[in-house]
């Protein structure tokens, strides 16, 4: 079986399957001391990497130009490696059930090219049992090899936070697991090559899978509570941010804020856990309740915009509204599973076709996935309302004078979802100011 010494001495190569926001940083990190094959089915993405361009913006163009990762979309190149890391997305279907197809396809590709003596580590977020019950049978079927005898498996959930330049692969404690003690130690030592924060050896693969899926479920529930408070306090005429700032002075108050919950983790992972629970006959109450609240927040924001238009005697149908930010989170180009689209869809139900500004977003992806096109911020004029949906750094320095130029006649409506600006300053400037 492949050993840490083989990898350090470059006698055996590593592979990373799936070069997105998670896989690319992993490949680049390991390539500083090991021979790494970076595989992705997306030919155009591979070509960009070969040109030294980082479309994810996770490690930057300079790091891509300097890395020794061997980029390829040819699956046969995987035969040259014996330590494999699978980092592909695990989305949900329209009915919120897990979509394991990307993981199954990645397992099939790897299985066709798997060598004896290999270790396969999965990083994709799944419900407990997927690695052993779904992925292993595919690997065995496609390779003709036997797990435990011809190859070993492990699981090490990704904890990378896209767009976060502080909490990186190297600085976050890595959970590792293996099918047996020998595999666990090898997997742990391999990750210790790049993770300065150290590793945590989970007792089993299922424990590691469960640990990952509850991390984001916990955050989802806490944010849902904040969103519910925001709805209640807005009805009371109380500023939610002011309430949270006051409550936050207590040492054990949890620092969460209301907002849109999208992306591929917090808005998705809870459904994996509740799906498995339902398979076992238990219907989640708290987790799914939180999901329902968070999934409805885009609609709530749009309805609040409409109510503010009515309150300021503006016509709703045909109102000119600009939405600033479209990605699922700040300072990140990723638009997949963004909840801003829910705001836009709901506004259209009221006869409003908003214009969208997002200098950070992947414009090609947004057009392909949502048929959405962006405008430059300089093109925003004669608006009735502006919705600041994402707190991109590009918007942080906007001042009253900058926004004034973007409005037309009548009361200026500003919906500051993330609370970027001062309520006092904008209300004194004559704005109708609203935030979660």
Instruction: Please report how the helices 286-295 and 269-279 are oriented relative to each other, as an axis angle in degrees rounded to 10.
Output: 140
Taking the C-alpha atoms of residue 225 and residue 386, their distance in angstroms, rounded to an integer, is: 26
pLDDT reading at 294 higher than 70: yes
Specify the CATH number of the domain 4-203: 3.40.50.720
Tens digits of per-residue pLDDT, 100-147? 999 999 999 999 999 999 999 999 999 999 999 999 999 999 999 999
For 383-395, write each residue's pLDDT tens digit.
Answer: 999 999 999 999 9
Q: With a cut of 90, say whether residue 75 has pLDDT above it.
A: yes
27-36, 238-247, 306-315, 329-338: segment of lowest average pLDDT: 329-338
- Average of pLDDT values for 402-430? 95
User: What is the average per-residue pLDDT within 409-424?
Assistant: 94
CA atoms within 13 A on the CB side of 346: 19
In this prediction, residues 19-40 reach a mean pLDDT of 94
Query: Chain-wide mean pLDDT for the chain?
Result: 94
Residue 366 DSSP SS3: helix
Q: Residue 55: what pLDDT? A: 86
Q: Hey, do 4-203 and 220-434 end up sharing a CATH topology, with the first three levels equal?
A: yes
Question: Is 220-434 a CATH 3.40.50.300 domain?
Answer: no
- Dihedral (CA of 350, 354, 360, 366) sign: positive
Task: Using the predicted structure, report yes or no on whether residue 56 has a pLDDT greater than 90.
Answer: no
Q: Which tens digits make up the pLDDT trace of 186-215?
A: 999 999 999 999 999 999 999 999 999 999
- β-strand partners of 357: 324
Mean pLDDT of the region 35-55: 94
Least Cα distance to 386 among 407, 367, 414, 412 occurs for 414
pLDDT at position 166 is 63
Tell me what percent of the residues of the chain surpass a pLDDT of 90: 88
Q: Under a CB-based contact definition with an 8 Å cutoff, are residues 199 and 117 in contact?
A: no
Burial of 201 (0-12, 13-18, 19+ CB in 10 A): middle
* Tokens matching residue 195: 């993770």
Clarify whether 265 is annotated catalytic: yes
SS3 395: helix
- Across the range 349-354, mean pLDDT stands at 96
Is the CB of residue 155 less than 8 Å from the CB of residue 119?
no
Contact 334, 327 (CB under 8 A): yes
Q: Around 147, how many Cα atoms within 13 Å sit in the side-chain half-sphere?
A: 22
List 135, 141, 147, 265, catalytic entry: 265
Secondary structure tally for the chain: helices H, strands E:
18, 13
For 166-183, give one letter per residue: b (16+ CB within 10 A) or e. eebbeebebbbbbbeeeb
Torsion angle in degrees (nearest 10) through CA of 80, 86, 87, 93: 130
pLDDT for res 141: 97
Closest Cα partner for 77 from 29, 24, 115? 115
* Per-residue model confidence (pLDDT) at position 264: 75
Res. 162 pLDDT band, cuts 50 70 90: low
Residue-range domain boundaries for the chain: 4-203, 220-434
Q: How high is the pLDDT of residue 105?
A: 97
Residue 405 has pLDDT above 80, yes or no: yes
Whole-number percent of the chain with pLDDT over 70 = 98
Question: Per-residue pLDDT for 289 more than 80?
Answer: yes
DSSP string over 175-228: EEEESSHHHHHHHHHHHTTT-TT-EEE-SSHHHHHHHHHHHHHHHHHHHHHHHH
| Own/partner long-range contacts of 227-230 (Cβ < 8 Å, ≥24 apart) | 227/258, 227/259, 227/293, 227/294, 227/297, 227/436, 228/293, 229/258, 230/258, 230/436
- Expressed in angstroms, the distance from the first to the final Cα of the chain is 54
């Amino acid at each position: 079986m492949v050993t840490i010494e083989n990898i350090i001495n470059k006698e055996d190569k590593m592979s990373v399957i799936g070069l997105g926001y998670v896989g690319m940083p992993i490949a680049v990190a390991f390539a500083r001391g090991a021979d790494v094959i970076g595989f992705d089915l997306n030919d155009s993405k591979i070509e960009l990497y070969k040109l030294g361009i980082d479309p994810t913006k996770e490690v930057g163009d300079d790091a891509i130009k300097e890395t020794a990762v061997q980029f390829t979309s040819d699956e046969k190149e995987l035969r040259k490696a014996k330590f494999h890391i699978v980092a592909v997305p695990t989305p949900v279907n329209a009915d919120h059930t897990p979509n394991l197809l990307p993981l199954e396809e990645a397992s099939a590709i790897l299985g066709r090219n798997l060598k004896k003596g290999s270790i396969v580590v999965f990083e994709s977020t799944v419900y407990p049992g997927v690695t052993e019950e779904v992925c292993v049978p595919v690997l065995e079927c496609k390779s003709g090899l036997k797990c435990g005898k011809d190859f070993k498996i492990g699981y090490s959930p990704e904890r990378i936070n896209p767009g976060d330049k502080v909490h990186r692969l190297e600085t976050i404690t890595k959970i590792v697991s293996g099918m047996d003690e020998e595999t666990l130690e090898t997997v742990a030592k391999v990750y210790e090559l790049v993770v300065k924060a150290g590793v945590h050896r989970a007792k089993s693969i299922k424990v590691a899978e469960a640990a990952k899926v509850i991390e984001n479920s916990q955050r989802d529930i806490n944010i849902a509570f904040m969103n519910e408070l925001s709805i209640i306090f807005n009805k009371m005429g109380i500023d939610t941010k002011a309430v949270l700032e006051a409550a936050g002075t207590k040492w054990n108050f949890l620092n969460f804020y209301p907002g849109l919950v999208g992306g591929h983790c917090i808005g998705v992972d809870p459904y994996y856990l509740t799906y498995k629970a339902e398979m076992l006959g238990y219907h989640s109450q708290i987790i799914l309740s939180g999901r329902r609240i968070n999934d409805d927040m885009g609609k709530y924001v749009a309805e609040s915009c409409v109510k503010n238009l009515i309150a300021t005697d503006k016509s709703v149908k045909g109102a000119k509204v600009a939405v600033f930010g479209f990605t699922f989170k700040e300072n990140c180009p990723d638009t997949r599973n963004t909840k801003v689209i829910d705001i836009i869809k709901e506004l259209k139900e009221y006869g409003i076709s908003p214009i969208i500004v997002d200098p950070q977003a992947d414009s090609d992806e947004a057009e392909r996935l949502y048929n959405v096109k962006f405008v430059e911020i300089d093109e925003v004029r004669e608006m009735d309302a502006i919705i600041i949906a994402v707190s991109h750094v590009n918007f942080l320095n906007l001042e009253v004078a900058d926004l004034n130029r973007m409005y037309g006649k009548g009361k200026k409506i500003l919906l500051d979802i993330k609370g970027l600006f001062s309520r006092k300053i904008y209300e004194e400037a004559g704005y109708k100011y609203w935030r979660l």
